[in-house]
A and B are shown apart, each in its own frame.
Chain A
Amino acid sequence: AQSVTQLGSHVSVSEGALVLLRCNYSSSVPPYLFWYVQYPNQGLQLLLKYTSAATLVKGINGFEAEFKKSETSFHLTKPSAHMSDAAEYFCAVRGNDYKLSFGAGTTVTVRA
């Protein structure tokens, strides 16, 4: 079985500041990891995915995430926050089956 823990349910950053969203996973097999973003009243959109090809994964909208096996982490970062980054972000993990296990989500607020 696999699971995900997202540290911090809310993150507030200033426009132009670093965005860091933390995700730790638990998996008995090599994991496949995903970050999704959800804007208000919309479904989830894929930001990026880790599939073991490279430990640093670049996604859309300037986001990237680094897979660290020793720390069982897959933190999401963006160097400079934009107002349009205000949304809820979900980390998800999948093992050898079809099922995605989602974290509880982190809501990002961007201050002008």
Chain B
Amino acid sequence: NAGVTQTPKFQVLKTGQSMTLQCAQDMNHNSMYWYRQDPGMGLRLIYYSASEGTTDKGEVPNGYNVSRLNKREFSLRLESAAPSQTSVYFCASSEETGVNQPQHFGDGTRLSIL
């Protein structure tokens, strides 16, 4: 079982460059999420997609865009990378946006912006 797969695992960018982080899940989940993880701050929600064709902002959406390409795939784009976006990015999915449904996480993308 692959679960949630994120690519790439590591990336170094220069300030101003653009990049798309890819995420795919094979669990037939309706809902998908993008988080960033920074030391001492836990995980913060960037964007989420409740179902195919819909996306909504989370807690820290500025500087990011997302695309729910189909039910399986949810990508995160940095149009003009900034050093403040250096972080570990996690994609997650869940069956529904129901309050008691756990989220399943990928292994993360470690992104450094120079």
Residues of A within 8 A of B (CB): 4, 9, 32, 34, 36, 41-46, 49, 51, 90, 94-100, 102-105
Contact = CB atoms under 8 A, between A and B. Distances in A.
26 contacts: A4-B42, A32-B100, A43-B4, A43-B90, A43-B92, A44-B43, A44-B90, A44-B92, A46-B102, A46-B103, A46-B104, A51-B100, A90-B42, A90-B43, A94-B99, A97-B97, A97-B99, A98-B50, A98-B97, A98-B99, A99-B58, A99-B59, A100-B45, A102-B44, A104-B41, A105-B40
A96 B99 contact: yes
Question: What is the interface residue range for chain B against chain A?
Answer: 20 to 34
B108 A43 contact: yes
Interface in B38-52: 40-45, 48, 50
A96 B100 CA distance: 10
B100 A45 contact: no
Interface of B: 4, 31, 40-45, 48, 50, 58-59, 90, 92, 97, 99-100, 102-108
Contact of B42 (A32, A94, A102): A102
A99 B100 CA distance: 11
Contacts of B42: 4, 90, 102-105
Nearest to A42: B107
Nearest to A98: B97
- The residue in A41, A45, A100 that gathers the most chain B C-beta atoms within 10 A of its C-beta is A100
Given A41-B107, A43-B107, A102-B42, 14 more contacts: A32-B100, A34-B102, A41-B108, A43-B4, A44-B43, A44-B90, A44-B92, A46-B104, A49-B100, A90-B43, A98-B50, A98-B97, A98-B99, A100-B103
Given A43-B4, A43-B106, A44-B90, A102 B43 contact: yes
